[in-house]
Amino acid sequence: MARPSRSQSWALAALAATQLMVILDGTIVNVALPTIRGDLGFTDAGLAWVVNAFFVAFALLLLPAGRLADLVGARRVFLTGLVVFTAASALCGLARGSELLVAARFLQGIGGALASAVVLGMIARLFADDERRRTQAFGLLAFVGAAGASIGVVAGGLLVELASWRWVFLVNVPIGLLTIPVALRHLDPAPGTGVRRAAAGGGLVPRALFGARPFVVANLVLGTMTLAGFSFQFLSALYLQDVLGLGPMSTGLSYLPVTIAIAVCSLALSGRLAERYGAARVLVAGLLLFVVGLLLLARTPADGTFWVDVAPAFAIMGAGFGLAMPQVTAIAMAAAPPEHSGVASGFVTTTQQVGGVIGLALVSVVADGAGLGAGLLVAAVVLAGGTTLATTLLRPGPEVGRLAGDPTPAPTLERC
């Protein structure tokens, strides 16, 4: 199989670097919040908007950004988002008052949404003729997404401790300035469909996407995965700090077993296994491992130890996520018509955000009333439901059949 071209590699690097910046920005600031409060005079209620301003703008604009990419071209939307995000990061780092910081964080969310919404669609087009490379690229994005949260906690602690809270934002500026010319040179400048043609189709999300069964099922499964993943991160962090007594930096380092397992499985194993056994089978196998890891973590005792009670569950969950995430993404994006790849990408990213929000709201209530283990059990049950749903993809519909290795797929997508 031919190696990806140099231009493809640079294009993927630009997309992955931008995605990493946006994901890091969602977690790296958390460690710096107490210092920011003291320096800029935030109230506790006002301090929450340093986080919320970013996520409100980000969540609201993902779908419109994806649709806009289909109209005017994905590279144009991506570059606009990258420039806005980089400039807003500089404004955050230089802010001298609370109002300016919150406004700059909102602007960061806008830039992050514009850039992130189109990444999956651009990768799908970048490797349109090479299914294995496309799945490997989705695996890289899965690793970046999962590792970004842990890296953010550690990096935030180091930057605040060694430099200033301002550097949790300013660190994005040199990365953005290096990424912009790479993106300009190597990303495909393909035009969009045009506003007039899109207006004739109507709607923010074209009906064609909801008519493709693999796209709908993959997004439902993805929602259960992110619900479980966000729940795991939230509850395990509480366990590590409140029960095991670890500090913020040690907590971040404790996620290394998860990160390493995700790296190995998403980058090295998931694509190869899918090539041999089919995307749907690898997805189901990964989900089963994820469920097992959650169940193991749910039974962690109050007097447990990290290496005996936590690390094995972390590694199993990481392996499951690393196998499943590239495949659920590949199935969803392969089912989307090429002319709707932008909005499909935005929809998949929105699914992850919605799943995470619902997950945190659900398990936090359960954990508050019945304990951390009960919250993890709820997440495991929801994910088990997603696993059951994923088995429907083992029935070889046209597009899923192609991904699963069926040599004679039908020419049209299966309808719901």
Sorted by where each begins, the domain ranges of the chain are 1-204, 208-407
Q: What is the DSSP letter of 415?
A: B
Cβ pair 336, 209 in contact under 8 A:
yes
How far from 103 is each of 57, 316, 320, 416, CA to CA, in Å? 11, 41, 39, 43
Lowest mean pLDDT, pick from 149-158, 207-216, 373-382, 405-414: 405-414
| 302: confidence class by pLDDT, cuts 50, 70, 90 | confident
Q: What's the angle, vertex CA 268, arms to CA 267 and CA 272, rounded to 5?
A: 115
Residue-level pLDDT at 57: 92
Residue-level pLDDT at 412: 32
Residue 400 pLDDT greater than 70, yes or no: no
pTM: 0.83
> On the CB side of 32, how many CA atoms lie within 13 Å of its CA?
29
Residue-level pLDDT at 21: 92
Is 208-407 in the same CATH topology as 1-204?
yes
Residue-level pLDDT at 3: 61
Lowest mean pLDDT, pick from 184-193, 222-231, 333-342, 349-358: 184-193
For residues 243-250, average pLDDT: 80
Residue 291 pLDDT greater than 50, yes or no: yes
| 281: confidence class by pLDDT, cuts 50, 70, 90 | very high
Percent of the chain with pLDDT over 70: 90
Residue 201 pLDDT greater than 70, yes or no: no
- Give 1-204's CATH code, choosing from 3.40.50.10440, 3.30.390.30, 1.20.1250.20, 3.40.50.1970: 1.20.1250.20
Residue 111 pLDDT greater than 80, yes or no: yes
- Residues 6+ positions from 241 with CB-CB distance below 8 Å: 247, 248, 251
**Closest CA relative to residue 237, chosen from 30, 75, 44, 73:** 30
For residues 175-182, average pLDDT: 96
88-106: per-residue pLDDT in tens? 999 999 999 999 999 999 9
Residue 31 pLDDT greater than 60, yes or no: yes
How far from 189 is each of 26, 62, 181, 370, 387, CA to CA, in Å? 29, 21, 14, 53, 38
For residues 125-132, average pLDDT: 88
Distance of CA 383 to the CA centre of its chain: 17
For residues 181-206, average pLDDT: 74
Residue 226 pLDDT greater than 80, yes or no: yes
Residue-level pLDDT at 296: 96
| 221: confidence class by pLDDT, cuts 50, 70, 90 | very high
For residues 348-364, average pLDDT: 87
Residue 243 pLDDT greater than 60, yes or no: yes
For residues 190-201, average pLDDT: 60
For residues 289-310, average pLDDT: 93
Lowest mean pLDDT, pick from 84-88, 93-97, 310-314, 407-411: 407-411
- Give 208-407's CATH code, choosing from 1.10.8.80, 2.170.120.12, 1.10.3720.10, 1.20.1250.20: 1.20.1250.20
For residues 187-210, average pLDDT: 71
Cβ pair 62, 113 in contact under 8 A:
yes
Residues composing the chain:
416
Residue-level pLDDT at 194: 62
Mean pLDDT (the chain) is: 87
| 403: confidence class by pLDDT, cuts 50, 70, 90 | low
Lowest mean pLDDT, pick from 54-68, 87-101, 118-132, 243-257: 243-257
Lowest mean pLDDT, pick from 138-147, 191-200, 389-398: 191-200
